Amino acid sequence: MLQSDQVAWRGQFTGAVVAETPEAARYAAGLVRFRYEQRPPDVALREDRDDLYKPLDAAQFGQGGGELQDGSPADSVLGDAGPALAAAHTVLDATYTTPMYHNNPMEPHTAVVTWTDGELLVYCSTQGATMSRDLIAATLGLPPGRVRVVSPHVGGGFGSKVYPHAYAVLAAMASRTVRRPVKFTLTRQQMFALVGFRPASIQRIRLGADAEGRLTAVTHDVVEQTARAKGYADQTAVCTRLMYAAPHRRTTHRLAPLDIPVPTIMRAPGEAQGMFALESAMDEMAIACGMDPVEFRIRNEPDVHPESGLPFSSRHLVACLREGARRAGWERRDPTPRARRMGRWLIGTGVAASTYPSPRLPGNAATVRVAPDGHCTVLIAAADLGTGTWTALTQIAADALGVPVERVELRIGDTTLPNASPAGFSSGINSWGSSIAEAARQLRTLLETEHGDVVPPDGLEVTADMPANTDAERYAMHSFGAQFAEVRVDADTGEIRVPRLLGMFDVGRVINPRTARSQLLGGMTQGMSMALYEHSVLDQRFGHVVNQDFAQYHIAANADVHAVEAHWLDETDPHTNVMGAKGLGEVCIVGTAAAIANAVHHATGVRVRDLPVTLDKLLSEP
């Protein structure tokens, strides 16, 4: 932060102006002129660049190291895909691309900071108060105990508020300089340069199958953007390691170092773009094999994790496909492309599978207190960004304590509370909920064994670390789903509408059906937005995102959304945690784009392999 005279990307912070009103500050900042020695930016993502590299130590979110963002290795090989592809009865070799996407929560990133006696208080919008505190403290050279981060409510994040980003540190530096509290809110335009994005990808997929439609070989080779300033690698092909059975397999990730801002987590980072490619390829391959796309997936369902050989803690993808197909009316589908028309509209339907891991993250503890009047207080530095954390954790605590929810008061979003991992990786319920359930269990035991079930006059309090889950080593833990899309395409203009989206999910036990449903609907709708509208355009000469506002970077508006249905199987996972829950906040955005692109192919006969699917790609010269 302001430590170098080099500018790593267009839009990077080069200074700050502090004023007493926002009007004065913005005007003044606009008057500052810098003189640079200019060099042309290098922002072109191509698979034939000679500086592509295999990611190393890109994992930041997890604490176990690893090469990709989620801690996975960059490459995986099983068998020998080359000869298997050469010998296959049916082969598909296709390249898919996904653009740069920006998270764009409605609430811009904001920090209000103040220093008192060398201690820093930061009010900011973050998905992880504990991690923000640690990273801000480390950047400023402070012990973590001298920084407090407060963030009880978050106006959406979708990954962009997991890491604290430079703006909060800049505000802290400004405040230390002027010795006054400082408030700093990013403009919407700045959010396209300073708080991360989903990196663009080029993905080549090759599939080989035998005469019965059984996959013999699967390869998924990814080239994706990263910043020259700092490496970041989405786990784009990791989904391909677990989705379908095949004896011969290979996945690779390579990074193109560019003069662009540092990418970050965006809802289902890697899986969202990887499953667009894999599930589009599965649709193409089903057609090539002359099979129904639902049946083709079922035929290639693995018994165990195809690469690690571990059993799944629970995997009900086939049930999702079958039940989703039933609800979507799939059996009536004529597979012929461009065969259904209503007036000016070409109609099509498509399917894709969804998956997302269900991990437990380290670094959690919870305190549970009970007062003599029975009032219970639960403390953990968790975050609620609209996901329902406030409600679900209160329910989990009430359940574990055996009291009605009205008696439980939950406090989150403050580093004076016990540490918590960030809201990300669909790990919240699993990590925070397990910690709370453990603290509650210990409290009840203590109450029973030491106090004869009578709360002492001063109350009783227990703080427990998140319990280890030994099953995590023995099982592969993932959520699954199947998404069905119906699309209409205007035969004259190529305009695309999505009259129906239906998702059937396997997410273990659902703690709160209301907030769960809302998450699933929102994720699917974001998946639709990813499929059809969103696309950050990098200017190759200037290196900035050209369409850096909501009028040009389109996210789905109300009129774009029609029937969206989210359902789940009534299943409990026996291994993930005591609640039997799996993650659900991200699996729902995975696969939607492929389901829609597959439906567009069914409607029009045009296969779009480059997201977003826009009308210009469907207009043909008759």
In the complex, the smallest distance separating the C-beta of residue 78 from another protein, rounded to whole angstroms, is 38
Query: Sign (positive/negative) of CA torsion 577, 578, 582, 583?
Result: negative
Closest by CA position to 510, among listed 402, 566, 582? 582
**Number of CB atoms found within 10 A of residue 552's CB:** 12
Among positions 19-38, residues that touch another protein (CB under 8 A) are 21-24, 26-27, 30
Q: How many residues does the chain have?
A: 622
Beta bridge partners, 476, equal 312
- Indicate which single residue of 54, 153, 451, 474 sits in contact with another protein (rule: CB under 8 A): 153
- Indicate which single residue of 108, 302, 467, 605 sits in contact with another protein (rule: CB under 8 A): 108
Examine the residue annotation and report whether 586 is marked as an active-site residue of this protein. yes
Annotate each residue in 395-414 with x if it binds another protein (CB under 8 A) or - if it does not, as one string. --------------------
Among positions 339-358, residues that touch another protein (CB under 8 A) are 344
Residue 78's SS3 state is: strand
- Indicate which single residue of 379, 401, 485, 532 sits in contact with another protein (rule: CB under 8 A): 532
Site stretch for another protein (CB under 8 A), options 205-213, 231-239, 439-447, 534-542: 534-542
Binders of another protein: how many residues, by CB under 8 A? Answer: 72
**Cis before 612? omega within 30:** yes
Q: Judged by CB under 8 A, does residue 616 bind another protein?
A: yes
Among positions 474-513, residues that touch another protein (CB under 8 A) are 492-495, 497
Q: Judged by CB under 8 A, does residue 592 bind another protein?
A: no
In the complex, the smallest distance separating the C-beta of residue 501 from another protein, rounded to whole angstroms, is 9
Q: Judged by CB under 8 A, does residue 185 bind another protein?
A: yes
Site stretch for another protein (CB under 8 A), options 58-66, 198-206, 298-306, 539-547: 539-547
Site stretch for another protein (CB under 8 A), options 103-111, 166-174, 247-255, 311-319: 103-111
In the complex, the smallest distance separating the C-beta of residue 27 from another protein, rounded to whole angstroms, is 6
> How far apart, in whole angstroms, are the C-alpha atoms of residue 268 and residue 274?
10
CA dihedral 445, 400, 428, 524 (to 10 degrees): 160
> How far apart, in whole angstroms, are the C-alpha atoms of residue 41 and residue 131?
32
Contact criterion met (CB below 8 Å) for 543 and 41: yes
Site stretch for another protein (CB under 8 A), options 70-78, 283-291, 292-300, 514-522: 514-522
Tokens of 508: 């273990």
Q: Judged by CB under 8 A, does residue 468 bind another protein?
A: no
> How far apart, in whole angstroms, are the C-alpha atoms of residue 460 and residue 121?
30
DSSP string covering 129-185? HHHHHHHHHHHHT--GGGEEEE-S--S--TTTTTS-HHHHHHHHHHHHHHTS-EEEE
**Cis before 362? omega within 30:** no
Q: Judged by CB under 8 A, does residue 51 bind another protein?
A: no
The set of residues, in sequence order, having a beta carbon less than 8 Å from that of 77 and lying 6+ positions away, is: 249, 250
Tokens of 451: 């106090």
Among positions 543-562, residues that touch another protein (CB under 8 A) are 544, 546-552, 554-561
Out of 212, 448, 586, 621, the active site residue is 586
Among positions 215-254, residues that touch another protein (CB under 8 A) are none
Taking the least distance from each CB to another protein, the nearer of 267 and 360 is 267
Write out the catalytic residue numbers.
586
